[in-house]
Amino acid sequence: MGNEEKITYLRGTPDLKQKSKRAAKLTYAFNSRSPDEETKREELLKELLGKCGQQISIEHNFHCDLGYNLEVGENFYAGFNFTVLDMAKVIIGDNCMIGPNVGIYTAGHSIQPVDRTKDGYAIPITIGNDVWIGGSCTILAGVTIGDNSIVAAGSVVTKDVPSNTIVAGNPAKRIKDIE
């Protein structure tokens, strides 16, 4: 996979709780705003996210772990129920569209039962420019999705997606190149 930088963290530490609470407050404020309050919604996203371009639109019921690890480019759109577990960096390029009910998950945990609740790990995710991710997709830790690619609705992306490729399925597999 493209992003091999594995970050470990301890659950329940005061620092992590504080950072999570900050993100929870900001996402609550964002999700509580009327669609007519576009300026306030944009201000909240700019405060929450690590970086965001112009013309960014995220629909109601957006959630993230920390917020500051999420960077989105210009002309970004995410549909309803967008969830990002951003314990590690998530970088999304310009001109990307994400359908409803999409989850982007950098976080994981030990497979050993005794350690599962104590700590976790996270691996960054990178999504290139001009990418379209269909509804109800899951993007897993460490994945890179190349420029101009399409992830078909309902796909589970477990491995890197080359540029100019359409993938589909669980796990997602290449179904077509984009000429």
For 93-142, the DSSP string reads: -SS-EE-TT-EEE-EEE-SSTTTTTTEEEE--EEE-TT-EE-TT-EEETT
pLDDT of residue 4: 64
pLDDT of residue 64: 98
pLDDT of residue 82: 98
In a domain, residue 135? The reply is yes
Q: Which domain holds residue 163?
A: 7-177
Catalytic choice (21, 46, 109, 118): 109
Q: Which tokens hold the place of 50?
A: 């690590």
- What is the pTM for the complete model shown? 0.93
In a domain, residue 1? The reply is no
What percent of the chain lies above the pLDDT cut of 90? 83
Q: Which tokens hold the place of 165?
A: 């490729």
CA–CA separation, 83 vs 102, rounded Å?
6
pLDDT in tens, 120-150: 899 999 999 999 999 999 999 999 999 999 9
Note if 63 is an active site residue. Answer: no
In a domain, residue 121? The reply is yes
Q: Is the pLDDT of residue 1 over 60?
A: no
pLDDT of residue 3: 59
pLDDT of residue 120: 85
Please give the residue that has the higher pLDDT: either 65 or 119.
Answer: 65
pLDDT of residue 111: 81
In a domain, residue 48? The reply is yes
CA–CA separation, 172 vs 154, rounded Å?
9
pLDDT of residue 112: 80
Query: Are 31 and 60 spatial neighbours (Cβ–Cβ below 8 Å)?
Result: yes
**For residue 36, what are the contacts with CB-CB under 8 A and spacing of at least 6?**
none
Q: Which tokens hold the place of 68?
A: 């500051």
pLDDT in tens, 88-123: 999 999 999 999 999 999 998 878 887 777 778 999
In a domain, residue 21? The reply is yes
What's the average model confidence in pLDDT over 38-61? Answer: 95
Q: Is the pLDDT of residue 2 over 70?
A: no
Output the CA–CA distances (angstroms, integers) from residue 179 to 134, 135, 159, 163, in the order listed: 20, 23, 22, 11
Mean pLDDT of the chain: 94
pLDDT in tens, 11-30: 778 898 999 999 999 999 99
CATH number for position 123: 2.160.10.10
- Domain tally for the chain? 1
In a domain, residue 2? The reply is no
